[in-house]
Amino acid sequence: ILKTLNSWFWWENIWMPINCTWADFVDREGLVFPKPHQLYATIPYAFVLLIIRFFSERYVARPLAKALGIKNVRRVKPQPNPVLESYFRECSRHPSQSEIKGLAKKCNCTVHLVEKWFRRRRNLEIPTVLQKFQEAFWRFSFYLTSSIVGFIFLYDKPWFYDIWQTWVGYPFQTLLPSQYWYYMAEIGFYWSLIFTLGIDIKRKASACAWLLLDFMAHVVHHLAAIGLMSGSWCGNYVRLGTLVIFVHDTADFWLEAAKMFNYARWEKTCNMLFIIFSIAFFITRMILFPFWILRATLYLPTYYSTTPVIAYFLFNGMLLTLQGLHIYWGYLIFKILKRFVFLK
């Protein structure tokens, strides 16, 4: 069964134009192609990024937070109590008064002690401002670095200015070293986010249902990003893929910067950065992505292949879904800006 699934998954009609086979994509003089097995390297790259994250948060983000006036608040841990811990995890983090009385009787202690235990235990689930700042700093650092490096990699490439060039010579387009590292770093970054989902900041920790729903939402988002980039790698849509990565990362670091200054209570700086992010988001997600990237993926391939492969519909479906999310997020950003303007 696995052999059948494997042969179906790598069927040429899924990934390639007509009259092309995997045998055509063997490296030869002047031509180097992306290879699916190279994606395995993104896992160790993810662990390298986790090591970099650990040191950057500890030795860069913490001193920066201190300089901005953010204090490291140490929360008091409740006394170990298996009965209360079990109830907290399995039943409720906010027991009613009658339940508290029952737990106090069961633990042979006062109602006040049970209430204090639950209050301290809930506080442990709420991230400190320093923890939030450190996570935002790491994302800001990666997105900013990715944007700068991406521009250096792309500024002298013809397809950065002429979108038609993304399809010239396809599928026999050679893989550049810069494209390899750009992809490996980006996919590795999203793997690292998946690996740390269990310990990263819980943004809505007040609701029990959040724990599973938000966790799964992040897993789906990160896996979708990895799937889209990995698929474009296997199909050698690398030129377009690098443009998609660049368009997204160039707006995201502004949002993370706004978060950092929000945690530091620099309100004016935070508001200014959020406005810049909103402008960058509108330009990249609402103009460049639909009218530049999607035009290149939906319309231009018809000039180079009489019969679009299955990947044409698969990837465009995912990209259109992504654009739907952009519209939704743009609506939320507009609501925040509207409230911000009217409050002022």
Tens digits of per-residue pLDDT, 177-192?
Answer: 999 999 999 999 999 9
Contact 222, 127 (CB under 8 A): no
Residue of 245, 236, 231, 227 whose CA lies nearest to 34: 236
CA distance 281 to 337: 13
In the chain, the N- to C-terminal Cα span, in Å, equals: 63
At residue 207, the pLDDT reads 42
Q: What is the mean pLDDT of residues 20-40?
A: 88
pLDDT in tens, 32-80: 999 999 999 999 999 999 999 999 999 999 999 999 999 877 777 888 8
Q: What is the DSSP string of 296-316?
A: HHHTGGGGT-SS--HHHHHHH
Global pTM reads 0.85
* pLDDT score at 214: 57
Which residue is listed with tokens 């009385």?
Answer: 101
- Distance from C-alpha of 339 to C-alpha of 142, rounded to nearest angstrom: 30
What is the per-residue pLDDT for 201?
Answer: 56
| Position with higher pLDDT, 288 vs 308 | 288
Structure tokens at 39: 């994606």
Give per-residue pLDDT as tens, 131-164. 899 999 999 999 999 999 999 999 999 999 999 9
pLDDT at 198 exceeding the cut of 80: no
- Start and end residues for every CATH 1.10.10.60 domain found in the chain: 82-125
b/e code 107-123 from CB counts within 10 Å (16+ = b): beeeeebbeebbeebee
Q: What pLDDT band is residue 205 in, cutting at 50, 70 and 90?
A: very low
CA distance 92 to 254: 38
Predicted confidence at residue 344, as pLDDT, reads 58
The β-bridge partners of 28 are 31
pLDDT 10s digits, 261-278: 999 999 999 999 999 999
Nearest to 337 by CA among 271, 288, 281, 255: 271
Distance CA 306, CA 323 (A): 26
- Residue that is written with structure tokens 């039943």 in the block: 91
CATH number of the domain at 82-125, please?
A: 1.10.10.60
Question: What is the helix, strand, coil percentage profile of the chain, to 5?
Answer: 75, 0, 25
Most confident segment among 77-81, 124-128, 314-318: 314-318
Position 27, amino acid: D
Strand partners, 31: 28
